[in-house]
Structure 1
Amino acid sequence: MVSNNKRHTMKSIKNKDMIHPSSRKAQQVMRVVLRKDRLDQRQKTRANNSFLKSDRILWFRHAVPEEVKTLTREQHHQLIEEYLSRFNDEYQSLVALHRPGKVRPKAAREDMLTAIMAKERQEYASGFEIPDFSSPKNVQTLREWDGDLNSLNRIKMIKLNDPKHLAKLAGDVAGSAAAGMANSNTTEGSTMQE
């Protein structure tokens, strides 16, 4: 049997006003409604991601002085650290409102800032996407960008990982490899003695 992959719309379904709740036509209408909701949700998510990306790009654009033509990798990492610490003052002021010995619930803004900072730190550990300031052409494109979401793809982006996190991972891997070697040597030695 050939599957029917035809996408129905509400316009193409006839007599949708007078249908039995358990009929095939009611199921068809339900599929159309669910698909429309799913597509709307995806569109909202995509628009939200574009807005967040443009907000990040604008922050980096204004953080780099106009006279700077290119940046090194170390300067890229310094910029990311500045970006990640942009909420620190506000967070510290909210924490300062807590009085010692008094039970005061956290402010909603404090919880939100904690979540944002943790998410961004995790993103930096796995790969933080920022505009590429190592190319003069890309820096010029970024300076000329007017904030239009449709022209975001003209700006070249790079992903950078936290060097401290990478060094920690390398140390963990080296430590576990050394421990594995030590364990294999002790098990070999114990089997030889038997």
Structure 2
Amino acid sequence: MVSNNKRHTMKAIKNKDMIHPSSRKAQQVMRVVLRKDRLEHRQKVRANNSFNQSDRILWFRHAVPEDVTNLTREQHHELIKEYLARYDDEYQSLVALHRPGKVRPKAAREDILLGLMAKERQEYASGFEIPDFTSPKNVKLLREWDGDLNSLNRIRMLRLNDPKHLAKLAAAVAGSAAAGLATSQATEGSAMQE
């Protein structure tokens, strides 16, 4: 059995006060510091993702009326379109501040909103995750959810793609397949003539 001689905490490294910069002990200290930084970064990213997901779930929970127990796929897509359009009015008001003929720099909020809207539309094209409203049991769980980040995994999520984007992809695949078939038939025809 191979021993694990890596030190995972600064507390485990003895005599770290007076070490040579090129020594093995200095390398151990560096590994511990880098590991600590990496773990803190992952924890921040995970917390940020959980916060964003809980914010999205809360928006969808309040967007669906209380008397609704389940929704169809089309209604899910309508909800997503509403969600994606939630910043449109604010963005249009910021764009309206631009005066024709006058040079005025964009507001920082305008750039932030534009980036956020583009990111969410791209996410919808590749797969947008929302709470599953097709199951009455899941809707009940969602209504009872108190906003606790630790209980997020109890709520079943549904990943939906933009049907327009899927139709474009299907048309592009069909077009490239037809072009490939035409070129293969053309090469076969030219080979037969020779």
Aligned to 1:187: 187
Cα pair 2:7 2:28 within 8 Å, conserved: no
Question: What is the number of residues matched between the two proteins?
Answer: 194
Aligned to 2:98: 98
Aligned to 2:30: 30
Distance 1:164 1:71 in 2: 20
RMSD: 1.6
- Residue 158 of structure 2 aligns to a residue whose secondary structure is strand
1:54-106 per-position Cα deviation (integer Å, ceiling 9, x unaligned): 00000000000001110000000000000011110011111111122222221
Q: Structure 1, unaligned stretches of length 5 or more? A: none
Distance 1:60 1:28 in 2: 48
Residues 3-14 of structure 1 correspond to what in structure 2 (within 5 A)? 4=4, 6-14=6-14
Q: 1:136 to 1:183 in 2, by over 3 A?
A: same
Distance 2:18 2:5 in 1: 25
Q: Structure 2, unaligned stretches of length 5 or more? A: none
1:148-189 per-position Cα deviation (integer Å, ceiling 9, x unaligned): 000001100010011010011111111111222222233333
Percent identity, please: 84
Aligned to 2:62: 62
Cα distance, 1:191 vs. partner?
3.8
1:94-119 per-position Cα deviation (integer Å, ceiling 9, x unaligned): 11111222222211111111111111
Cα distance, 1:3 vs. partner?
6.3
Cα pair 2:6 2:28 within 8 Å, conserved: no
- Residue 11 of structure 1 aligns to a residue whose secondary structure is helix
Q: 1:5 to 1:63 in 2, by over 3 A?
A: farther
Cα pair 2:91 2:110 within 8 Å, conserved: yes
Cα distance, 1:5 vs. partner?
5.2
Distance 1:192 1:103 in 2: 66
1:137 and 2:167 are equivalent in the alignment: no
Distance 1:70 1:120 in 2: 24
- Give the counterpart letter for 1:91 in structure 2: Y
Distance 2:173 2:3 in 1: 51
Distance 1:192 1:90 in 2: 64
Q: Name whichever of 107-116 and 177-186 sits farther off.
A: 177-186
Q: 1:5 to 1:71 in 2, by over 3 A?
A: farther
- Residue 66 of structure 1 aligns to a residue whose secondary structure is coil
Distance 1:8 1:87 in 2: 45
Aligned to 2:87: 87
Cα distance, 1:4 vs. partner?
3.4
Distance 1:109 1:126 in 2: 26
- Residue 141 of structure 2 aligns to a residue whose secondary structure is helix
Distance 1:109 1:140 in 2: 37
- Give the counterpart letter for 2:116 in structure 1: I
Q: Name whichever of 75-84 and 170-179 sits farther off.
A: 170-179
Cα distance, 1:19 vs. partner?
1.5
- Give the counterpart letter for 2:72 in structure 1: T
- Give the counterpart letter for 1:61 in structure 2: R
Cα distance, 1:2 vs. partner?
4.3
Q: 1:187 to 1:103 in 2, by over 3 A?
A: farther
